[in-house]
Structures are given as structure tokens and as C-alpha cells.
Amino acid sequence: MAKKPVKVTELVLRDAHQSLLATRMTMDEMRPILPEMDKINYFSVECWGGATFDSCIRFLDEDPWDRLRILRKELPHQKLQMLFRGQNMLGYRPYADDAVEYFVQKSVSNGIDIIRIFDALNDPRNLETAIKAANKEGAHVQGCISYTLSPVHNNEYFAAYAKTLQEMGADSICIKDMAGLLTPYTCYELVKELKENVSIPVDIHSHYTAGLASMSILKGIEAGADIVDTAMSPLALGTSHMPTESLVAALQGTDYDTGLDLNQLNVVRTYFAGLREKYLANGLINPKSLGVDANTLLYQVPGGMFSNMLKQLKDAGKEDKLDEVLHEIPRVREDSGYPPLVTPTSQIVGTQAVFNVIMGERYKMVTKEFKGLVHGDYGKTPAPIKPEFVKQILGDDEPITCRFADTLEPEVEKLKAEASKWAIQEEDVLTYAMFPQVAPKFFETRNQKRVGIDGAHVDMANKSHPV
């Protein structure tokens, strides 16, 4: 009998395909296997949030809220988990507090049980509103450490941050190792330190990019980790995660036995094996995403960022510049105060590195988002940015030191008015809020399809705001 059974969070419906095929798995592809997945005794199934929202409306012509409701219906025995970017929600800018509260409320009422909340800079001020809102809705709050390596990041730093998250209302802590930088003995020491500093469960989320995740997770389990994140083997490894079945087999008959049924997992594996073949055949999975790249330890590029950057360079006909961009990323990161590379800072730093390489001169062209990062719009950077660099990027504009959301006016009513011509459900306001350029076209296409179904149109401008 397992004395300390390890719990498993399954990532195949979200982070696995986000990391390997730029979040292109459709609801139609997921749906047939959900009843079989529902028979497995997971801790949770991560299936929403992250880049799924953007991908649904931008590429897949799917309503992300419909996706969540279908997942809730088809996985009645599972805790559904989402990834939430704190004050940035699922978009790429900081939002006013009322919008964050509204989003959390709608996510929970549509079926989310666990909200994994992170901030790209590990600035707790950017998590306050989301944690309070999730506590209020009765969801499980998983507070995240965005794990990274730099002269200012160490285990003491992360342990202190975890303690802060617990005090703020987190129900568990996730070590979010988005670039696969955790080495086995560092993971052991970090988990040990966390267990000594917090009294809530600790989860390890480590990408396979550098080939270390299996070893690191095993050492983390020995140090007392309670939950680990894995992905079904056909969509595991590479820029994705450790395979679920491998972990289950490795722990069978030990004190850490997960208790998951390998035969039932094999039913699920067989289904995703078919999907993998399809994605390889149609080019959705780039073979480069499937290998191990220990260069990650130098460049710290997370899986989702890598697959998207490859695609961007390919689309621009600049795939040959990949190595130069990878060399430039750590330099941009140092200039900007060592932000961990996770959405949105991964995109901000990555895009700026691409510009620096393509323009042939560093910071000849600076993106609006990079200026925002230096200005303090995304929070406090882990290390102070050198005053001369601030001057170079911002000119005479002074950076801010307060929580950026404190400078924002409530925005839900304004968003409701703007979205009212398309909205047919309250949640549409939030879809519009996150992607105001992409959402209108998506709504028009969706609404044309639905007019024949129910003819419904809700005037959102006159709906009361239930936060």
C-alpha cells in the first residue's frame, strides 16, 4: 500500500498540445476520448486557459466557453484546471480589477475547479485580485512560482515567494518550470525547502525541453512533492512534458504509487497516438519540437515560446536566424531585469530579440510591449533595470513603482457596451476584452452559424454586472 501516493495532473488537453503544436487541438479531436479519460483517477485535468482561448477564436473557429462547458459535461468526475495569468487574465495586457474578478467568476460558474495563477515576474501584487476572486468563488487556488535561473533567483527567493502566496490564500503551490531548467538535485533541494516553508501541497510542472524532467520529478517526489504534471506519451517529451504512463509505471509498487490504472491509460494512449500521427502528417508538429535541446539551459526558452518562435521565423522566411535569436534572448533578458520567460514576458523578450537580430542593430526598433516592461506596466522586475538602459528605452518617460492595475479605471461596463453588438452570452464580453482585434470577426462568423439555431441575441449593454 502506498504510504505517500503521488497525485497526477494530466496536461494532454492543454499544455501538451500548446507546447508541441501551438495549441491547435480541436474540441472535436478531444471529445471522443473524454469518457475514457474520465475513468482515470487524476488529481486534475488541465484543459483550459493559457493560449487555448486565443487559439480557439483566432485559428479554430471555436467558442472557448463552449469548449469549457463541453469538457465539464464530458468529464463529470474530474477536477478541471485552468492556467490564468493573474492580472493579465488570458490576454497580453494587464486588466482592471473588475475584469479579473468577472473572469474568475465566469470561469468557475462554467466548470473550472482549480485555477493555477501565475505572474510572469513573480510580483505578488499582480496575483492579489485573482487569488481573492478565486477564494470568493470557492475554487482551489494554485499559486505559481515562475521558475527561472539568474543571478537574483535561488531557492531562498522561491521559498519566500511561496510563503507569500500561501499567506495570500493559495491552496497549493506549483513550481512552474516552463523552460525545463530544473535539474534533479536542485529540484530535490527546492521541494525540500518549500515543504519546510509552506503547509500546503507542492506540485511540480517541468517541461522536457532539456531532457531533465523525468529525473527532476523523481527527485522532487523523493523530497516530498505531492502532485506532478505529466502528459499522455504520444504528446509528451520534447518541448512538452514527462509521459504520464512512464511516471505511473516508475512508481508502481513503491510508497509513491499513483494508483492509476496502466490498462485504462493505454486506452487513452492509443487514441492520442492516432492524433499524433495525424499532426506529424499535416505538419502541425514540427519535428524540432520533439527532440531534446540542452541549449535550453543556456537560453531558457519555454516550449510554447519555442514552437511559436519557430513558426514566426518560418513564416518570415528567417528560419536560418534561429540560433542568432537564441543567443540574443539572454542578453535582452539581462537588460530588462532578468524576467522569467513565460507569457507574456517570453513573447516580449523573444520578439525584441527577433527585432534586434533582424534589424542588425540592438534596440534600433523597440516594441510597445518591451517599453511597457521597462516602464513597470507588467510589475516589478526581479532585478533593477540599469538607469542608463531605462533612459535608452523610455527617453524622458519615468518608470512607475506602484501596482499597474491601480492606475486603471474599472472597465467591465465599457467593455460590455463595446461588445454588445456581437454578444449572445455574458462571457462574450470577456472574450472581447482579451482579444478586441480578433473577437469581432470570430463573433460574426459564430453568430451567423447560430442565428438558424436559436435566433438569440442578448443586448449586453443592458445586462447587470454580477461581480
Residue-level pLDDT at 465: 36
pLDDT tens-digit profile of 190-226?
999 999 999 999 999 999 999 999 999 999 999 999 9
Cα–Cα nearest to 434, from 424, 444, 443, 447: 443
Q: How confident is the model at residue 241 (pLDDT cuts 50, 70, 90)?
A: very high
Residue-level pLDDT at 457: 47
Residue-level pLDDT at 466: 35
Residue-level pLDDT at 303: 60
* Residue 168 burial by Cβ neighbours in a 10 Å radius (0-12, 13-18, 19+): middle
Instruction: Please give the average per-residue pLDDT across 374-387, as a whole number.
Output: 96
Residue-level pLDDT at 287: 87
Residues whose CB is less than 8 angstroms from the CB of residue 308 and which lie 6 or more positions away in sequence, other chains included = 22, 347
Residue-level pLDDT at 304: 62
pLDDT surpasses 70 at 14 = yes
Range picked from 144-148, 452-456, 459-463 for highest mean pLDDT: 144-148
pLDDT surpasses 80 at 453 = no
pLDDT surpasses 60 at 186 = yes
Instruction: Please give the average per-residue pLDDT across 415-419, as a whole number.
Output: 97
Least confident of 72-81, 356-365, 382-391, 411-420: 356-365
CA distance 210 to 228: 18
Instruction: Please give the average per-residue pLDDT across 275-283, as a whole number.
Output: 96
As a whole number, the mean pLDDT across the chain is 93
CA distance 141 to 186: 25
pLDDT tens-digit profile of 397-414?
999 999 999 999 999 999
pLDDT surpasses 60 at 459 = no
CA distances 113 to 35, 174, 176, Å, are 18, 16, 19
Which three cell numbers, joined as nine digits, stand for 382? Answer: 526581479
Q: How confident is the model at residue 467 (pLDDT cuts 50, 70, 90)?
A: very low
User: Can you say how many angstroms the Cα of residue 194 is from the centroid of all Cα atoms in its chain?
Assistant: 22
Instruction: Please give the average per-residue pLDDT across 142-146, as a whole number.
Output: 97
Least confident of 179-183, 344-348, 375-379, 383-387: 344-348
Which three cell numbers, joined as nine digits, stand for 450? Answer: 447560430
Helix boundaries (H) for 282-411:
296-299, 303-315, 322-335, 345-359, 368-375, 387-394
Q: How confident is the model at residue 315 (pLDDT cuts 50, 70, 90)?
A: confident
Residue-level pLDDT at 71: 98
Residue-level pLDDT at 1: 67
pTM of the model: 0.91
Residue-level pLDDT at 274: 98
